[in-house]
Amino acid sequence: MNPVLHKIVETKHEEILQAKGRSLPARKVPIRPWESNLKTSSISVIAECKKGSPSSGVLRPNYDPVEIASIYESSGAGAISVLTDSKYFFGSLTDLASVAESVSIPVIRKDFIIDPLQIEEAYSYGASAILLIVRILTPKELSSLHSFAKNLGLAVLVETHNKEEVKIALGSGATTIGINTRDLDTFQIHKNLIEEIAQELDDSIIRVAESGISSFNDWQKYKGIVDSMLVGTYFMKSKDIAKDFRSLLSGI
């Protein structure tokens, strides 16, 4: 495991120990439909609220997740991803709750989830879905966490980075599979990975392209191959999110 990723996971273990025994708030919003919002006649967009990252630092100094989420929803996003990691991505569970309570489309908690407590938090703070990353879990852990989330009524996006991880994801019961072109060990982008993997997945699977998406050319390249694109950095660096959202889908 990459040293940065290893450090993040170690931090998660520490955070989970500190959070044990804390009471969680009552959920305030219904669980929003996931599949129908992502699997449409075109490529849907999972638009991300992300203040920064370990590799880029702060991406958006004037970060207002509720304002950003409102623009995403009005622009036609199928779902919204909210980074909740505080130490490395400058997010929070408060961000998650604020966004979930301000929009009517599903919101996914994006974090490094390794424990059922984090899934309970996601549910309590209004998420309709969670992210599970194959790279940081054993197959047994992945299956257990996937089942735990589904039993709470949450959808699960299982993130993969190669064909072997896709097999593990499918073995866990995953029905939404993310193909991340950014290798978590090297942080390099493998541009053809999505074409190589997505076309081998059954149409019953919701296929999500992740990382490195920044132009209408990407949308054209993935049309007919994936069901959805998760887009974060492109929007976070934008001076006019609504305009660049339209440009991503139309080239105008």
Catalytically active residues are: 48, 50, 110, 159, 180, 210-211
Distance CA 79, CA 96 (A): 13
The one-letter code for the residue type at 231 is V
Residue 208, beta-bridge partner list: 178, 228
Distance CA 196, CA 191 (A): 10
> Per the structure block, which two tokens stand in for 107?
């919101």
How many angstroms from the chain centroid is the CA of residue 19?
A: 22
> Per the structure block, which two tokens stand in for 173?
């019961």
Helix (H, G, I), strand (E, B) or coil at 120: helix
